[in-house]
Amino acid sequence: MTEAGPKQRGEAQGRAEDRAQGRSRPPGAIATLVTLCVPFLLVLQATRFPGSVELAHYLPLHSFFEIFAIAVATLIFAIGWHAHTDETPPALLVLSTAFLGVALLDFGHLLSYAGMPDFVTPSGPEKAIAFWLAARLMAALALLMAAVLPWRKGSATLRYPLIGGVLLATAAVFWVVLWHPDLMPRTYVAGDGLTSLKVAAEYVLVLLYAGAALIFHRRRRGAHALDVRRLVIAAIAIAISELCFTLYLSVYDLANVAGHVYKVIGYWYLYRAVFVTAVHHPYDALHRSQRDLWREKEQARVTLLSIGDGLIATDTAGRVTLMNPVAERLTGWTVSESAGRPVAEVFDIENAETGERVPVPVQQVLENGEMVGLANHTVLVARGGTRSHIADMASPIRDRDGALHGVVMVFQDVTETYAGREALKDSLSLNTGILESAACGIIATTLDGVVRVFNREAERIFGYRSAEMVGTTDLPRLYDQDELRAHAKGLAMELDRPVQPDFAALVTRTRCSGRPEPSEWTGLRKDGARISVSTVTSVLRDSGGAVRGYLTVVMDVTERKRAEREIEKLAYYDPLTNLPNRRLLLEHLDVHLRAARQGGRCGALMFLDLDDFKGLNDARGHIVGDTLLRELAARLTATLRKGDLVSRLSGDEFVILLPDLGATREEATAIAWRVAEKLRLAVTQPFQLDRCEHSIFASIGLTVFPKTPDESVEDLLKQADTAMYAAKDGGRNTVRDYDPAMLIDAQARLLLQQDLRKAVDAGEFTLFLQPQTRADGTLVAAEALIRWQHPQRGFVAPGAFIAVAEDSGLILPLGDWVLMEACHVLRRLADAGSDCHLSVNISPRQFRQQTFCAGVIAALRTTRTDPGRLTLEITEGIAVGDCADTVAKMSELAAFGISFSLDDFGTGFSSLSYLTRLPVGEIKIDRSFVQDVDRNSHNAVLVETMLSIASRLGLKAVAEGVETVAERDFLEDRGCTIFQGYYFDRPMPVEDFITKYAKEPAHA
């Protein structure tokens, strides 16, 4: 408030003085120009009536106008020339000097006007016009030069060259007009008025004046030395004058008079501009400087008293001469106490960090004559011991001549600022620590994408060092460019405006919403690796709420994405074959079933199940089986169309979906059959498994959809499954189309499985024995065979339920029961005095059990049966499976005394090397080879080969299924010694066998 009062009073006083001295501002330029244009429009209207307005006594009036104009032009020159100083702008000097020539040319014009006495040569319109155009051209050029020349102070050396040039040009005009008029073109024709040349010249002059006015107007903001407003009005008034001179037909008409009036007005404004610039401005500046000096002194006094910083002034000896109240408070000294004392006594300072005293900078300023500032950790120790952190500066005090008169020190109490800075430093250190310790990447940018923060975790995620990113606009290169372009395109469609695929694509959504926006991107590391990143971009606001940048939090979710993909893969794909699983199959099947109903296009569903895959799996082991399934999956996929789908349900079960096969069920069925046959043939091609070639077959069931409007995907699966089982029942390695009658067989199979499960619990099974004899019928051993007596079904043949037991897993409890029953029978035979051996069939699944050996030994020990009389029959599948496990188990049981027989020899695998590795004592020739062996040459060769192998390896050979004397004789002639079949005896209950053979010694 102490400053405002004097300042306002000074300005009010200045305005009052201006009014008292008549220094009022000229009227507005626009109002003046409008006032000038209105009369011109009236003159323009009057010129439409030629000869209607002419002045009879025009010559005296013309002389008056010209004499007045010459006087004003002379004043312009006189004021500009004599008021010139080094501060006068070159523009003003050029303008005023040129108007000396204008005054002389206008004088020539006056003397040469029509009706005036002869001036060297007779007076007339053309002579007057020549002087007139020369004067106007010189004035126009002077105004243009004044408009374009610098308006700052110039040099006095320009004066005489300028006046010399002006006088020379003026003399040249007089010489041409007075002595060589023939050199000039015609400008006026009596009776016709002005020539086109004269009019064109006037228009050119109009353009020059208008151009000068325009330039003055455009440069008005930098006009501190010229009265530009009056210069603009003057240029326009003279331009209007020239327009009037293009309109007259007689030198005495109204247009000519109006032109002279406007010319006088223009000269008057020009004179006022020169006067204001050369005379009024300097005096006004002097007045203002006096007023400002008083104001500055007053303001300096008030400022010194009210300044918020401490101030101490000294003389050249370093003694205190002045102190303001703030300095008194901070130092503890008053002005009267400190006056004349050494400043070091009053201004006691020390280093805040070291505690050491610091020299007062006054002496350094006195020696060097330059300003000195102390560090912000300076502490001022007051007279009473109070300590304050200060920021100070010492400057020399000089007069206008540069003489040194002392030193002024200005210092500020920054104790609170210092404490705040220290707190801010601690806060920044803490924030930096948080940023660098954060478990997520943090990237801060400005509004235009310049990276400001790139923390340590961001470095780890993207592989770039902070120094490589901070200060750059390279943030977009951290993201996949195709993904960025696609995102920008989506944003552009969403926002209905273009979005560039650069930084804008990363922050536009956040910029529009003002909220944190999460996104997921494919990131690009510096080493080229592609990673998955999750980002949340927020706006950064200052304390006032204005947006200053963006903050992006980045998480490396590559492992999470990989886990999600793996989870999705596990949820929708079979881990062994990478084929779609049941869940994905049902989704696709549901979609295509709906599409088939709506579009009228039929599709097909196939159920493919491998024939005897369990045998391969049990024989070769799961690793080989899994390899086959993977190769089979690839083979099936390669056989189908791109839009078809192959799914693995479980084990060796595959489902094939064939959408859009045809418009009719017949067409779709025909195509499905062809595809099914291709699939079946593809399956039959041999597989190379563990350096061995293996062939396998498949049963395929198919169904075409849609059949009814309400059938479900589960119905279709059931239909295809039913057709597949029909294919198996039909001999396997074949294709069957679903028929509703098949459902009856499937239901019967399901009921049989249920009854079989109940039969195991209810003990509905019995054991039959079939003798193995010599050719003459003498007993050698017997084979234990299971039989099922169902309460309602009656006798169920083994061929009807063994396959069901294998598929359902019930073969394990059945096998354990048969083994235990056989041991009991051996015990009874032994008690009855018979030494008959007994063979028991072992299923591959039963043999693969880890507890198999222990179970067999436990059964023998429980029944106190001689192990040497028990023979276990295994299939070739078991023999060529996991050889190490097979050998280990067989060796363990053989060591216990148990014998082994290879059942169904020749029906399975072609490799015979296992015969030399396994402890097998006999082979059993399958009945398929024995049947009609005496008439079938192919079977005969095979049987002879098998008997030869057994003989050479020292193995016993048992021929199964011998039913005729011819078969017996053929086998006996080729060296077979043990026979089993209906020709010798049928399977019989245990009681019947004991009754018949208990007393007969066995000839093993």
Nearest to 174, CA basis, from 203, 138, 148, 225: 138
- Is residue 922 in some structural domain? yes
Residue 413 shares a structural domain with residue 493: no
**What's the 3-state SS for 359-376?**
CCCHHHHHHHCCCEECCC
**Does residue 769 lie within any of the structural domains?**
yes
Note whether 327 and 377 are within 8 A (CB): no
pLDDT above 90 as % of the chain: 29
pLDDT band at 236 (very low <50, low <70, confident <90, very high): confident
Single out the residue in 507, 542, 562 at which a domain terminates: 562
Q: Is the pLDDT reported for residue 361 higher than 70?
A: yes
Are residues 761 and 732 part of one domain? no
CA–CA separation, 626 and 459 (whole Å)? 44
Run of H or E residues at 537: strand 530-541
Q: What is the dihedral of CA 495, 497, 500, 503, to 10 degrees?
A: -50
Element containing residue 470 per DSSP (H, E): none
Does 431 fall in a domain? no
Q: What is the DSSP string of 732-778?
A: SSSEEE--TTHHHHHHHHHHHHHHHHHHHHHT-EEEEEEEEE-TT--
Structure tokens at 211: 């151009």
pLDDT for residue 675 = 95
Q: What is the spatial distance between Cα 995 and Cα 984, in angstroms, rounded to a whole number? A: 17
Q: Rounded to whole angstroms, how far apart are CA atoms 493 and 569?
A: 33
Per-residue pLDDT, 31: 64
Report the pLDDT averaged over residues 99-120.
Answer: 84
Mean pLDDT over 734-741 rounds to 88
| Same domain membership, residue 705 and residue 660 | yes
* Residue 838 or residue 199, greater confidence: 838
Please give the average per-residue pLDDT across 207-224, as a whole number: 75
278 has pLDDT over 70: no
Show the CA angle centred on residue 733, arms to residues 729 and 737, nearest 5°.
65
pLDDT value at residue 695 = 79
| pLDDT > 90? residue 820 | yes
Residues 920 and 794 in one domain: yes
546-586 tens-digit pLDDT: 888 999 999 888 888 888 888 887 888 998 999 999 999 99
Q: Are residues 334 and 263 in the same domain?
A: no
Tell me the CATH number at 634: 3.30.70.270
747 falls within a domain:
no
713-733 pLDDT tens trace: 999 999 999 999 888 877 788
At 143-177, the pLDDT tens digits run 888 777 776 665 666 778 888 888 998 898 899 88
Q: Which domain holds residue 663?
A: 573-740
Least confident of 425-429, 505-509, 665-669, 938-942: 425-429
Instruction: Say which range, 78-87, 93-102, 696-705, 987-996, has the weakest mean pLDDT.
Output: 78-87
Distances (CA, A) of 633 to 654, 689, 700, 701: 9, 15, 15, 17
Residues 60 and 190 reside in one and the same domain: yes
Q: What are phi and psi of 429, to 5 degrees?
A: -65, -40
> Could you tell me which residues come within 8 angstroms of residue 367 by beta carbon, excluding any fewer than 6 positions away?
none
The pLDDT value given to residue 23 = 42
Weakest mean pLDDT among 42-46, 321-325, 838-842, 871-875: 42-46
DSSP code of 186? P
Q: pLDDT at residue 225 above 60?
A: no
pLDDT score for 625: 86
- pLDDT tens by residue, 947-978: 999 998 889 999 999 999 999 999 999 999 99
**Confidence band (pLDDT; 50, 70, 90) for 9?**
very low
735-741: average pLDDT: 88
Residue 442: DSSP 8-state: E
Indicate whether 896 pLDDT > 90. Answer: yes
Statement: residue 702 has pLDDT above 90? yes
Q: Which of 562, 596, 612 is the last residue of a domain?
A: 562
Residue 432 lies in a domain: no
Q: Tens of pLDDT along 397-414?
A: 888 788 888 998 888 888
What is the overall mean pLDDT for the chain?
83
Q: Domain with 87 in it: what CATH number?
A: 1.20.1070
Tell how many helices (H) and how many strands (E) occur in the chain: 37, 31
Q: Comparing 431 with 544, which gets the higher pLDDT? A: 544
* The one-letter amino acid at 1001: P
Q: 300 in a domain, yes or no? A: no
- Dihedral, 620, 624, 628, 630 alpha carbons, nearest 10: 160
Rounded Cα distance between 936 and 971, Å, is: 13
Average pLDDT of the residues in 980-997: 92
Tell me, yes or no, whether 176 and 319 share the same domain.
Answer: no
Query: Is the per-residue pLDDT at 818 higher than 60?
Result: yes
Clarify whether residues 661 and 706 are in a common domain. Answer: yes
Task: Give 125's contacts (C-beta < 8 A, 6+ positions apart).
Answer: 114, 187, 188, 190, 251
> For 823-942, where are the E strands, in sequence order?
837-841, 870-874, 899-905, 922-925
Structural tokens at position 707? 């059949």
Query: Which of the two residues, 888 and 54, has the higher pLDDT score?
Result: 888
Q: Which ranges of 390-535 does DSSP label H, i.e. alpha helix? A: 415-437, 456-462, 466-469, 481-495, 503-513
| 546 and 450 within one domain | yes
Q: What pLDDT does 22 receive?
A: 39
Residue 49 has pLDDT above 70, yes or no: no
Q: Mean pLDDT over residues 819-825, rounded?
A: 95
User: Which residue type occupies 497?
Assistant: R
The pLDDT tens digits for 782-814 are 999 999 988 888 888 887 888 788 777 888 999
Is residue 348, in this structure, part of any structural domain at all?
yes
pLDDT band for 91, please (50, 70, 90 cuts): confident
Considering 740, 769, 799, which residue would you say is the last residue of a domain? 740
Q: What is the CATH number of the domain that holds 497?
A: 3.30.450.20
**Interatomic CA distance for residues 308 and 417, integer angstroms:** 15
Looking at the structure of the chain, the number of domains it has is 5
Same domain as 104, residue 208: yes
Q: How high is the pLDDT of residue 21?
A: 40
Q: What percent of the chain has pLDDT over 70?
A: 85
Please tell me the least confidently modeled range out of 9-23, 64-78, 230-244, 397-411: 9-23
Q: Among 10-24, 421-435, 751-765, whose mean pLDDT is lowest?
A: 10-24
Shared domain for 384 and 528, answered yes or no, is no
Q: What is the CATH number of the domain that holds 891?
A: 3.20.20.450
C-alpha distances out from residue 567 to 250, 564, 572, Å = 106, 5, 8
Contact call for residues 713 and 588 (beta carbons, < 8 A): no
> Is 30 a domain residue?
no
Same domain, 608 and 585: yes
- Any residues with CB less than 8 A from the CB of 805 and at least 6 apart, and which? 756, 811, 814
178 vs 73, which has greater pLDDT? 178
Residues 491 and 505: their CA atoms lie apart, in Å, by 8
pLDDT at 785: 94
How much is the pLDDT for 988?
Answer: 94
